[in-house]
């Protein structure tokens, strides 16, 4: 059997692999980006209209596209419902954009570090990476992918000046600007979250997700694209899966209509802010002498850089697994794994573990790291 040559470029997602481990009992996981179980909408509101059982439009159900357009306009990005495509998770948007724009050797500018499952997709299509630090000017490239609002993994939120600078630099390179914004609603401080693509002179794609603000198991996200890109993206969506699950679309529509969305988002923010603060105080107690980090202003993660330049968080994960504690080592998030910090960084999810597990898990992890860096 001969697999397609692109399969040589497809690596397994380390997060998905670790997620399988975390399903074992007694494992304390800081690895995945799992939203809090108690943040999900009540299933009592789950009503399936008869019409949702039929095939639907590839772009998504019209009332939902209208809703999404209004939601995105509220964020400061003018858009028509015609330019909205409902996705089977925003991960699908990365796949469709890569199919649209990335050939073998296409220069793609990505933040370093960046969302590792975006790297998985871009690599599959043969991207040639041009890395840049989050918030810094991107190098010239056909496509610039960024996650400017509470970035996964660093939590970085671009300042107003960084947003403007990004628009100017991308326009100078005539790049397609691809903004990934799944954490928009998970905001704990007052910061500028205006989409970078808003007012961008060139072609762009902006995408969001219902995974973090409603529930990831529904696998529903959306994208909005500039005029030139909408029709080709719809054709790719047709070819990929005909359309997204209409039961999920109906439920999301129902939740967005029935609930006071703004109140729900406020509750969610309060809930996660409290978790972040607790996690941060436990980190202060155990990791103060071992690592540097900043308090994330939104999103789901703390990003730690161990002070020891020779630390290897992949090796530390092995030891942590034996103690049934899991986290994400930093290396897979780097497009350039020779980056000076690739081996000494780690990502910790603060939204899913219970308070007790946070305290127990971090109390286990800190001495493991201490002995690894001293030994
Ligand atoms: N982009 C980023 C930056 C993410 O962190 C994630 C999920 N962790 C996704 C896209 C995909 O999210 P989903 O497919 O659940 O919408």
State pLDDT tens for residues 190-219: 999 999 999 999 999 999 999 998 999 999
Q: How far is the CA of 152 from the centre of ligand 1 (A)?
A: 9
Of the two residues 43 and 348, the one the predictor is more confident about is 348
Look at residues 158, 122, 148 and name the one whose alpha carbon lies nearest to residue 6.
Answer: 122
Supply φ then ψ for residue 291, to 5 degrees. -145, 165
Q: Considering only CA atoms, which of 168, 353, 192, 185 is closest in space to residue 278? A: 353
State in Å: Cα 362 to ligand 1 middle: 25
Residue 182 near ligand 1, beta carbon < 6 Å = yes
Residue corresponding to tokens 């596209």: 65
pLDDT at res. 260? 76
Rg (CA), the chain: 20
Tens-digit pLDDT profile for residues 225-255: 999 999 999 999 999 999 999 999 999 999 8
Q: What are the DSSP calls for 180-247, one per residue? A: E-TTTT-B-S------TTTT-SS-EEEEEESTTTT-GGG--EEEEE-HHHHHHHHHHHHHHHSS--HH
Please work out whether the CB of residue 148 comes within 6 Å of at least one atom of ligand 1.
Answer: no
Best mutation site among 147, 211, 213, 328 for ligand 1, i.e. most ligand atoms within 8 A of its Cβ? 211
Contact 313 CB / ligand 1 (< 6 Å): no
Measure 217 CA to ligand 1 centroid, in angstroms.
Answer: 12
In this prediction, residues 60-68 reach a mean pLDDT of 97
**Ligand 1 in reach of 151 Cβ (< 6 A):** no
With a 6 Å cutoff on the Cβ, whether 114 touches ligand 1 is no
Task: Check whether 259 has a pLDDT greater than 70.
Answer: no
Of all atoms in ligand 1, which is nearest to the CA of residue 219?
Answer: 15
Give pLDDT, residue 33: 83
pLDDT at 193: 98
**Least confident span in 42-51, 98-107, 318-327:** 42-51
Cα of 357 from ligand 1 centre, angstroms: 25
147 close to ligand 1 (CB < 6 Angstrom): yes
**Does the C-beta of 115 come closer than 6 Å to ligand 1?**
yes
Nearest to 158 by CA among 132, 134, 137, 176: 134
pLDDT at 176 over 90: yes
Q: To which H or E segment does residue 144 belong?
A: strand 143-146
Mean pLDDT of the chain: 94
Question: Structure tokens of 133?
Answer: 């630090």
Q: Report the atom number in ligand 1 closest to the C-alpha of 91.
A: 14
CA of 91 to the centre of ligand 1 (A): 6
Q: What is the pTM of this model?
A: 0.96
- CA of 5 from ligand 1 middle (Å) equals 27
260-311 pLDDT, tens digit each: 778 889 999 999 999 999 999 999 999 999 999 999 999 999 999 999 999 9
Across residues 315-322, what is the average pLDDT? 92
Task: Give yes or no for a contact between 182 and 161, defined as CB atoms under 8 angstroms apart.
Answer: no
pLDDT band at residue 15 using 50, 70 and 90 as cut-offs: low
Distance 145 CA to ligand 1 centre (A): 13
Any idea which residue has 């994960």 for tokens? 317
Distance CA 301, CA 223 (A): 24
pLDDT for res 375: 67
* Pocket-testing residue among 31, 90, 118, 207, ligand 1, by greatest number of atoms within 8 A of Cβ: 90
**149 touches ligand 1 (CB under 6 Å):** no
Q: Is 155 in the pocket of ligand 1 (CB under 6 A)?
A: no
Give mean pLDDT, residues 327-349.
Answer: 95
Check whether the bond before 32 is cis (ω within 30° of 0): no
CA 349 to each of CA 11, 24, 218: distance values in angstroms, whole numbers, following the listed order: 23, 18, 21
Query: CA-to-CA distance for 132 and 166, rounded, in angstroms?
Result: 11
Question: Among 160, 152, 271, 268, which residue's Cα sits nearest to residue 214?
Answer: 268
């Amino acid at each position: 059997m001969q697999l397609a040559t692109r399969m040589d470029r497809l690596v397994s997602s380390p997060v998905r692999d670790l997620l399988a481990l975390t399903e074992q009992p007694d494992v304390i996981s800081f690895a995945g980006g799992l939203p809090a179980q108690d943040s999900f909408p009540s299933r009592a509101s789950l009503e399936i209209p008869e019409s949702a059982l039929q095939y639907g439009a590839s772009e998504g159900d019209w009332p939902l596209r209208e809703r999404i357009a209004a939601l995105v306009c509220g964020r400061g990005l003018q858009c028509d419902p015609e330019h909205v495509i409902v996705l089977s998770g925003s991960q699908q948007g990365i796949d469709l954009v890569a199919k649209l724009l990335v050939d073998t050797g296409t220069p793609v500018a990505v933040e370093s570090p960046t969302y590792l499952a975006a790297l998985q997709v871009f690599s599959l299509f043969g991207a040639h990476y041009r890395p840049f630090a989050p918030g810094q000017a991107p190098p010239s490239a056909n496509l610039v992918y960024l996650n400017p609002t509470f970035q996964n993994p660093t939590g970085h939120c671009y300042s107003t000046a960084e947003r403007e600078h990004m628009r100017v630099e991308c326009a100078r390179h005539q790049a397609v600007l691809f903004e990934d914004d799944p954490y928009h609603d998970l905001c704990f401080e007052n910061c500028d979250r205006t989409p970078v693509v808003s007012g961008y002179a060139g072609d762009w794609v902006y995408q969001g997700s219902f995974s973090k603000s409603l529930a990831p198991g529904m696998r529903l996200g959306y994208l909005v694209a500039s005029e030139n890109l909408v029709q080709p993206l719809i054709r790719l969506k047709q070819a990929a899966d005909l359309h997204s699950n209409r039961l999920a679309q109906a439920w999301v529509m129902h939740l967005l209509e029935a609930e006071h969305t703004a109140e729900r988002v406020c509750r969610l923010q309060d809930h996660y802010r409290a978790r972040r603060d607790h996690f941060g105080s436990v980190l202060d107690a155990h990791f103060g002498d071992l690592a540097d980090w900043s308090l994330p202003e939104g999103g789901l993660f703390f990003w730690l850089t161990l002070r020891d330049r020779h630390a290897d968080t992949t090796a530390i994960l092995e030891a942590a697994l034996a103690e049934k504690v899991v986290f994400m080592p930093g290396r897979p998030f780097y497009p350039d794994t020779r980056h000076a910090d690739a081996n000494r960084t780690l990502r910790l999810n603060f939204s899913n573990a219970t308070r007790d597990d946070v305290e127990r898990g971090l109390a286990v992890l800190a001495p493991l790291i201490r002995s690894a860096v001293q030994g």
